[in-house]
Amino acid sequence: MAEANQHSNSSSEHLLPNMIEKEENISQECRDIISGLPREEGWFQNSLYQFQGFWHQAWLIQGALGFQKHFKACDDDILLVTTPKSGTTWLKAILYATLNRYPTFHLFPTITPISHNHPLLTTSPHLLLPFVEGMYQDNIFRDQIDGMASPRLLFTHMPYSSLPKSVKHSSCKIVFLCRNPKDNFVSLWHFANKIRPKTWGTLSLEEALDKFCRGVSPHGPFWNHVLEYWLESLKRPDKIKFLKYEDMKDQPATNLKILAHFIGHSFSQEEEVGGVIDDILSICCFENLSNLKVNKEGKLPFGMETSAFFRKGQVGDSVNYLSSEIIEKFDSITQEKLGPHGLKF
Ligand code: PAP
């Protein structure tokens, strides 16, 4: 089995103070709440707390409280929700490029949206969609969400049961992305080892596996997170589009067309013939995004290096890390938790 620390980054020490600072700066209200919650050691943060049935970092619990209390959904909002490490960066880029394709295309019908000055070429996808619980963690940023032009394209990792009522009751659309649990786990394990401070040592595969299978992963339990959105998408297919990373990889153009239609921004015949779909997929593909300077050398405001979001971008990489015994264990949990509901990976 490969060692995750082969991927560790010597400059990741600076991340810890930022994460700790965020934990130290939480409000008294949140401090009081988390003091009564079950706590476990985090993967790349000091602690995870079980809040409303799922494991989160303290500062994101504060963000979730603000999100639940203050967020007013608009009917034309589009909310991307993902399980962490399921292809969030990719879907953020795809949705952004799809929603923002009009000005260029309509002004210059012979020019595709992928012009040399497209924002995705110089800005991390993570900065193009506000991370709502991150923004609501801080009152200063809250106003920025309220002040966004419509249609607002927003992002969250929150479980369905923790979403604000107004999201559920408005006509806003939810795009949910998840991924095969084995690949998701391997991606998360690598990510954790890449961004953990070196002084913490490597998180072993066994330790990570134990946490993940017990449900103790960021925004986990993984299976419950996926199941909530799956069940809701069955009840309300017009409200929630349930997507799998594997399907996006397998049939990107077909799924992008479906996605664009779902969010109310279908591609016209003219656009399809003009190659707009292919252009969006080209600018957002792993090879392109991962090689851009902004994604190779950039940093997010809380110190995270943007390169941490790009590793292999492949389906099935977990076979290179998991023994057949572990694969069997994963498959049986998945079958037990999701199988009865008709969800397979
Ligand atoms: P997040 O949920 O923390 O934002 P996210 O972007 O979901 O992270 O996770 C990164 C994963 O998406 C990585 O998977 P891997 O570890 O299995 O390689 C990363 O490589 C993959 N990824 C990032 N960008 C793309 C892309 N454009 N196309 C396909 N996969 C991508």
The tens-digit pLDDT sequence of the chain (345 residues) is 333 333 333 333 334 445 555 667 789 999 999 999 999 999 998 899 999 999 999 999 999 999 999 999 999 999 999 999 999 999 999 999 999 886 544 444 444 545 667 889 999 999 999 999 988 987 777 888 988 999 999 999 999 999 999 999 999 999 999 999 999 999 999 999 999 988 999 999 999 999 999 999 999 999 999 999 999 999 999 999 999 999 999 999 999 999 999 999 999 999 999 899 999 999 999 999 999 999 999 998 878 899 999 999 999 999 999 999 999 999 999 999 999 999 999
The H or E element that residue 71 is part of is none
Look-up of token digits 């809701």: 232
Q: Does the C-beta of 285 come closer than 6 Å to ligand 1? A: yes
Sheet holding 54-56, edge to edge: 39-41, 47-51, 54-56
What CATH number should be reported for the domain holding residue 200?
3.40.50.300
Query: φ, ψ for residue 48 (rounded to 5)?
Result: -120, 140
Specify the number of domains making up the chain: 1
Name the residue range of residue 267's domain: 2-341
CA dist., res. 187 & res. 311, Å (int): 8
Which atom of ligand 1 is closest in space to residue 93's alpha carbon? 27
Percent helix, strand and coil across the chain, each rounded to 5? Answer: 55, 10, 35
Mutational test site, ligand 1, from 86, 89, 190, max ligand atoms within 8 Å of CB: 89
Question: Which atom of ligand 1 lies at the shortest distance from residue 179's CA?
Answer: 7
pTM greater than 0.85 (yes/no):
yes
Separation CA 99–CA 147 (nearest Å)? 18
> Is 62's C-beta closer than 6 angstroms to any atom of ligand 1?
no
Ligand 1 test: best mutation among 90, 132, 307, most atoms within 8 Å of CB?
90
Give the C-alpha separation, 135 to 60, whole Å: 9
Q: What is the helix (H) or strand (E) element at residue 30, kind and residue range?
A: helix 28-35
Report whether residue 312 contacts ligand 1, using a CB cutoff of 6 Å: yes
Closest CA to 218 of 35, 80, 90, 84: 84
Of 112, 90, 116, nearest in space to 295 by CA: 90
Other beta carbons within 10 angstroms of residue 47's beta carbon come to 15
Q: Which residues of 285-300 are buried (b: 16+ CB within 10 A; e: fewer)?
A: ebebbbebebbeebeb
Specify the residue with its C-alpha closest to ligand 1, atom 16: 187
